[in-house]
A and B are shown apart, each in its own frame.
Chain A
Amino acid sequence: MSATTHGASAGAPGAGFRAAGSIVGEDDGVPTFEAGGGDWSQIAEEAARLGEERIVVNMGPQHPSTHGVLRLMLEIDGETVTEARCGIGYLHTGIEKNMEYRTWSQGPTFCTRMDYLAPFFQEVAYCLGVEKLLGITDDVPERATVIRVLMMELNRISSHLVALATGGNELGATTIMTQGFTAREEILKIFELVTGLRMNHAYVRPGGVVQDIPPGALDTIRESLGVMRGYMRQLEDLMLGNPIYKGRTVGVGHLSLSGCMALGITGPVLRSAGLPYDLRKADPYCGYETYDFDIPTSTDADSFSRTVLRIEESYQSMRIVEQCLERLQAMAPGPVMVADKKIAWPAQLAIGSDGMGNSLDHIKTIMGTSMEALIHHFKLVTEGFRVPAGQVFQAVEHPRGILGVHLVSDGGTRPYRAHFRDPSFNNLQGVSLMCEGGQVADVVVAVAALDPVLGGVDR
């Protein structure tokens, strides 16, 4: 943690940071700055010398309770936060730009890495967008859609578990953390069983999913659900009845409904303010209108109610998972990819020495018996398919709010532009409203209740 005295009046974000630095030189007309921290005693002396009561504290970007590389610039007066600003961009990796240089099928491999705690939501939103651009939304097999819903809802539980676990950990409740992560492990095992990976799956592809769920997976998931329910009850007991936890979270990080609407804040934070707005109900996709589930809400609009909602939502997701399992059980095995061979990769995957790849049998068949199949495979994988020019916006209900994907095609084999409206990115704008006027310790609680994932914020 570094701190600097606040020399200049508060202006643009980073003003305090700059004021502390000194211009060390000019290179091609661009001034360069050197920022420095110091010991608390020196800072206090400096503050006393300047007669300046306000102190700017940089919390992060490397700080255990900022959920990643989030930098919070807090102007404090004693223990009270008088101004809070976020600094982001420390995890910016240019995923959107990179996607413009890969085929449409390679897109999920990139967007799955954005919000790494909820990878399936980016994959599904992106693929729904590509399918809308292609006009094949209705051709996606029912089985693929049910698998997508199954994976998304499991992912929602695992994402909420991390939110609860890290939120508890940041308050010093290590047991909440260990229980939450242990429960999440159950879901990651399912992900590994179905997709081969614990995260960064790239399992959902334009037109369907990459492969069917393996035999026996339904029973495994059903067993895991029971285990998960047990862990969830423990978490419920640890958090909701805990006087210390309640003391830290009740009434903290308040954000009213009008504040949420003005700032475009969605997800559990919006629902904790009383509006039951969930895209799964309001603007259904993937057949969510055919599932039976509820949208829990609260009117307390504080951090505690958001914890309650995340637990409630996890139970609702388990209900949807059960319905998915029933449907998959009743469904005859069938394709999980569109029938159009100009879009669906002819891949038959198997585990290889360097991870998952095409099965040797399949390669032997196309290499040895069908020249046309080989050409087709080669063209589709290297060149990709063309998507008619136009643009779409596809939104899904992410664990943290509305995830919107804006896709533009120029009629080529690569996305012309892929923009992700990440809910964490938008929701972080609420930090100022939620933290100013409160205690420094409450900043941690408020940020934990927002549950930002910086991979998604910075992309």
Chain B
Amino acid sequence: MSETPRSEGTADAAVPTEQKDAAAAAKVGGGVVGTPAADTPQTATEAALEAGSQNIPANAQQRTRLEVIDVRTGMFGATQGGDTSGYGGLVRTIAMPGPSERPYGGYFDEVVDLLAEVLGEGGTAFDAAVEKVVVDREELTLFVRREHLVAVCRALRDDPDLRFELGLGVSGVHYPHDEGRELHAVYHLYSVTHSRRVRLEVAVGEADPHVPTTVDVYPGHDWHERETWDFFGIVFDGHPGLARIQMPDDWPGHPQRKDYPLGGIPVEYKGAHIPPPDTRRSYS
């Protein structure tokens, strides 16, 4: 189930020719990119954001832009001292798997066709509702625009040939480098009737983190959306009671965001001091 990522009309984008190993496109042009002085490379830094933005097309409305999630420099996670490894100039752009082309394989084509048909009957164009279809590792992901999310969920649940009647919840992911689309809400839907599964993904920006609630369609998403609000700060508009669920009510911040520190204290073990996990070297 491999696919070749496309980038339609994104001439200035570094196009990964192989999705393998995530490293994909090593962007070498443009001279030296600033070295991120990051304590933890998983955290967004100014320099990394700047480097990442160079790979994003100027047109923010571009339909099939790359989902750049990180830009890494060097190797071995060494940020202090001189460039002893000789890899200091290495710059790697990490992008998530891009949109797939037909045939998607398995039942995926049928699901997409049926969804397009049902949405069309309701007066919504498939292309307007779904940004892109990604088939990766034998799993189908539909990137849905937030204004059509509820319509898509309703179509997936109610149509007898689709019948994704079991909503398995919502989980958030924070991609600080995916500019303007930093926060992703990911919905996992199962069809008990047809023994199928589909994943919906909605991307919104940190500046406007609003997604319509799916609780009306899948009442079981109530707590999952509260958890995603709690951990990521995605506001689910229309949710019956969007209160924090895991953290205390007066907790500041959203702990699962990448710029939220993990915290921790050094631990002594047999005379040696082990630093807290978020200050240890990261090799990513």
Contact = CB atoms under 8 A, between A and B. Distances in A.
A283 B95 CA distance: 30
B96 interface: yes
Interface in B136-171: 136-139, 141, 165-169, 171
Contact of A388 (B20, B171, B245, B250): B20
Contacts of A389: 19, 22, 24, 69, 94-97
Given A12-B243, A421-B168, A412 B173 contact: no
Nearest to B136: A390
Interface in B165-200: 165-169, 171-174, 186, 188, 190, 192, 195, 197, 199
B94 A404 contact: no
Interface residues of B, number: 63
A261 B166 contact: yes
A262 B42 contact: no
A282 B283 contact: no
B22 A409 contact: yes
Contacts, number: 162
B21 A262 contact: no
B262 A384 contact: no
Which of A92, A100, A383, A388 has most B Cβ within 10 Å? A388
Contact of B192 (A14, A132, A277, A388): A277
Nearest to A419: B171
Contact of B188 (A263, A406, A416): A406
A13 B243 contact: yes
Contacts of B136: 390-391
Which of B94, B168, B219 has most A Cβ within 10 Å? B168
Contact of B165 (A261, A283, A459): A261
Nearest to A102: B277
B283 A32 contact: no
B21 A282 contact: no
B255 A97 contact: yes
Interface stretch (B81-89, B101-109, B220-228): B220-228
Contacts of B250: 30, 32
A412 B76 CA distance: 11
A263 B171 contact: no
B220 A412 contact: no
Interface in B55-82: 69-70, 76
13 contacts: A12-B243, A89-B245, A100-B42, A262-B220, A388-B20, A389-B95, A391-B173, A393-B197, A402-B190, A413-B284, A417-B171, A419-B171, A425-B223
